[in-house]
Amino acid sequence: MRLYDDPIAPTPRRVRMFLAEKGMDIPKVPIIIGKGEHKTETYRKLAPNTRVPALELDDGTVILESVAICRYIEGIQPEPPLMGTTPKEQALIEMWQRRIEFELLLPMASVFRHSHPKMAALEHQVPEFAAAQKPIAEQRLALLDEDLARHEFIAGDRFSIADITAFTTVEFFCKYGGIPLPEGLDNVRRWRDQVAARPSAQA
């Protein structure tokens, strides 16, 4: 089993964090998105959608999409549980995971992809789209602060994949994506610092 991985991009990082939380270390093959290595013919044969990360199993099966990869890892290494143990807990974590992806990650990524100079070679940039997505991302950060006033972690009182997705999103796009973390979001900062202190955050 090996993971095709970019060391900088936030989506591959969440798989690395997930693996680290599980205490797993598997061989990694670097695919540098900034150099266009995900667009090469060799990688396309492995991942036709050119997405990174990709998990190649020993039997040659390739799993794409970071959450699908994490679900496989959760299946072969259930402890500690990061996707829930009861039907209710699993549903709530899935709900929060999807909300973070669609409501926070997507607009933040859109701002980055359509405004950052380094993305110009990889994207057909539409600056107007970036400008429209920025206030949406900022509004969702404010809502996240309200959410985290009610519970310690994203999906409740237990660390989960939803925290990994939110953390890697905030860490990358608030630093490099043109959406600095607004002042006054004390709950987000408390949560971010708490997650950053976990050993998996260094993975």
pLDDT classification of 89: cutoffs 50, 70, 90:
very high
Q: For residue 178, what pLDDT band results from cuts at 50, 70 and 90?
A: confident
CATH of 87-202, one of 1.10.3720.10, 2.40.50.430, 1.20.1050.10, 3.40.50.1980: 1.20.1050.10
pLDDT (average), residues 52-63: 97
Apex 203 CA angle, 20 and 195, nearest 5: 80
Give CA–CA dist 29/3, Å, rounded: 6
48: its two tokens: 């036709």
Calculate mean pLDDT across residues 85-99. Answer: 97
pLDDT at residue 202 greater than cutoff 80 = yes
The residues spanned by each domain of the chain are: 2-76, 87-202
**pLDDT value at residue 41:** 96
DSSP 8-state class, residue 78? -
What is the CATH architecture assignment of 2-76? 3-Layer(aba) Sandwich (3.40)
Check residue 176 and give its pLDDT: 87
**Does 203 have pLDDT greater than 90?**
no
**Is pLDDT of 34 > 90?**
no
- The percentage of residues in the chain with a pLDDT greater than 70, rounded to a whole number, is 100
Whether the per-residue pLDDT at 77 is higher than 80: the answer is: yes
Q: What's the pLDDT score for residue 125?
A: 86
What gap in Å lies between CA 146 and CA 124, rounded to an integer? 35
User: Confidence band (pLDDT; 50, 70, 90) for 119?
Assistant: confident
**What number of other Cβ atoms are within 10 A of residue 193's Cβ?**
9
Sheet of 62-64: strand order equals 28-30, 2-5, 54-56, 62-64
Maximum CA extent, the chain? 50
First to last CA, the chain: 18
